[in-house]
Chain A
């Protein structure tokens, strides 16, 4: 492998890792801070992708269109959905066993998939990237690199920085971190922990939907698309340390590199390398790379 190809593969790995982070960060928020195993997280990603497909014409007709307007409408809808879901379902799960959480969130997967089938059908759909990001950059003499992929990486980086800032530098972040450590104590200090959790859940869902919407032009939109990202997201959350944004970012990048170079150098083992990595890291650090708290 010559050096320029190596650099392109690094770029691929980086971009894949950042995209994984975008989906996994919402999961680590919900799983790490609220202690709920949310199997329906992949469905939120799928909902995002279908929103990118279905909302664009509606937003175009009512608000005059625009890629960022569609994203904004999608995220607002997602946050509303998250708020309602938390109130209707997840708020009952905090004190329950993990098995009950798994059962309910698995049920939600089935409900969301069936709704998707009824509302949007079972066909595969494509989503076009916005015109101003549709170009490509030349890489070497044969390959080009779509500008939209760079844009995805940019969005992921911005979001990672934003989340890190909110968590470590703001009062809201402090309350959330305190709430994950000791729920009762935070409550007795006069902070409305229920409301706080509702906000965190809505934000986690918003991030997942944003990830789905941003990824849709690259991934295309198809049934059961959430299932494949769900498992890899749990791997990232576990490797990175439950609840740690920093850990999730590092773990996502690690997986991006292992998966990309695994496919090139060890194609027969590409399917298991990621899980071998997880096993090794858990042997070395049973709590993951960075445990929150």
Chain B
């Protein structure tokens, strides 16, 4: 028994030795660790990001910066409590050169902390927590998506310019909600408006009725909100159900109507939201991207697919500058800060805090699409508060 076992070990050891010897002879592949949600509520977002990322790699002939790409995938299940373990596995066991992830802000923050400590290159393809490119920022941690502050700030500007004076805000009491409302309030009050009441409920509570009655009692000129996913669907339906939609216009960060329009139906019609992407942008760049994506994956791309695609573009730009050598982190970062990323959303640059400097669009819901209305904020840059880069 023991003999068979030790013989097995010997064979295994030999196999591993042979494998590593074989790979040492060819040019080493660049190991990209994809830490994304493949199960749970955000599973479809994780898939879209991976699809987008791989689409760009395929367009480049499977190579970035002259190196072939090998993917190592981990399902983070949007669970922050397992995030540190998962990211350590990718870095220490799988020896990845680059980390891509994640959707959930709590998970991404745990990843960013480890990436900062170990100096691993990392690109965040969604999570919008301000701290990632703010208080927790690092020279080797980049973001291809957005910060919560950006869409909120853009909407504050839009509403102040419309001449709206009194606004009630309503959101979940957690980091994303606070940051979105914070950005909104900053721009709205700068533009002469006043937030008369800030309503909150604990995440992920969806019993809105009491707070909607509060809104009816306060009678503001308009309401600004941040909700996403199931909560966004229920909020929009309840808002219409209580009749408020007719008397008090509802505005929101774009997550309110992204990926949720099918479920919201007619109750979402006409809503105005701000985000860094929109349906029917109708630029040649976006049309080409959408066509290629639809062909490759038999799916319509969304904002998450764009963010995944751009994460790969950013990696490509950085790697090209260092000729595939991921140890040259300063050159990698310098190249990104100088680069113009040719994104389907419209070209953007990278701020010194490593967050996209991008146009935020004002969109209106019509016929199950977030149609582009105008550019709400041109080249908006997140202030990166607390970041010492």
Contact = CB atoms under 8 A, between A and B. Distances in A.
Interface stretch (B117-125, B203-211, B316-324): B203-211
A152 B42 CA distance: 30
A270 B41 contact: no
Contacts of B260: 124
Contacts of A224: 40-41
Interface in B217-276: 217, 219, 229-230, 232-234, 237-238, 241-244, 247-248, 259-260, 262-265
B237 A220 contact: yes
A145 interface: yes
Contact of B265 (A5, A128, A260): A128
Interface stretch (B194-202, B307-315, B332-340): B194-202
B70 interface: no
Interface in A1-56: 1-2, 5, 8-9, 12-13, 15-16
Contacts of B213: 5, 8-9, 12, 143, 264
A136 B243 contact: yes
A142 B219 contact: yes
B210 A223 contact: no
A158 B248 CA distance: 36
A162 B206 CA distance: 29
A222 B41 contact: yes
A9 B219 CA distance: 16
B41 A223 contact: yes
Interface string A112-140: 00000100011111101000000010101
B262 A123 contact: yes
Interface in A148-188: 149
Interface in B171-215: 173, 199-202, 204-207, 209-214
Nearest to A53: B263
Given A136-B243, A267-B199, A260 B209 contact: yes
Contacts of A222: 41, 229-230, 233
B43 interface: yes
Contacts of B207: 16, 259-260, 263
A220 B209 contact: no
Contact of B241 (A146, A259, A260): A146
A2 B199 CA distance: 19
B230 A122 contact: no
A228 B229 CA distance: 15
B209 A143 contact: no
Contact of B44 (A13, A122, A140): A122
Contact of B233 (A1, A126, A263, A267): A126
Contacts, number: 117
Which size bracket describes the interface of B in this complex? 35 or more
Given A9-B210, A263-B211, A122 B205 contact: no
B229 A271 contact: no
Contact of A126 (B39, B214, B237): B237
B209 A15 contact: yes
A142 B43 CA distance: 39
Contacts of A16: 207, 209
B8 interface: no
Given A144-B242, A270-B202, A264 B214 contact: yes
Given A142-B248, A228-B204, A260-B209, A124 B233 contact: yes
A99 B327 CA distance: 51
Nearest to B203: A271
Contacts of B210: 9, 12-13, 259-261, 263-264
B294 interface: no
A277 to B, nearest CB: 15
B16 interface: no
A219 interface: yes
Contacts of A263: 201, 207, 210-211
B330 interface: no
Contacts of B40: 122, 223-224
B291 interface: no
B190 to A, nearest CB: 25
B216 interface: yes
A107 B43 CA distance: 20
A122 B259 CA distance: 11
A126 B263 contact: yes
Contact of B264 (A126, A260, A264): A126
Closest 10 CB pairs between A and B?
Answer: A144-B243, A222-B230, A271-B202, A126-B263, A12-B209, A260-B210, A143-B216, A142-B216, A220-B233, A146-B241
Interface of A: 1-2, 5, 8-9, 12-13, 15-16, 117, 121-126, 128, 136, 138, 140, 142-146, 149, 218-225, 228, 259-261, 263-264, 267-268, 270-271
Interface of B: 39-44, 173, 199-202, 204-207, 209-214, 216-217, 219, 229-230, 232-234, 237-238, 241-244, 247-248, 259-260, 262-265
12 contacts: A9-B210, A9-B213, A123-B263, A124-B233, A124-B263, A126-B264, A136-B241, A146-B241, A146-B242, A218-B234, A220-B237, A271-B173
Given A9-B213, A117-B39, A271-B173, 6 more contacts: A16-B209, A140-B216, A146-B242, A221-B263, A223-B40, A264-B210
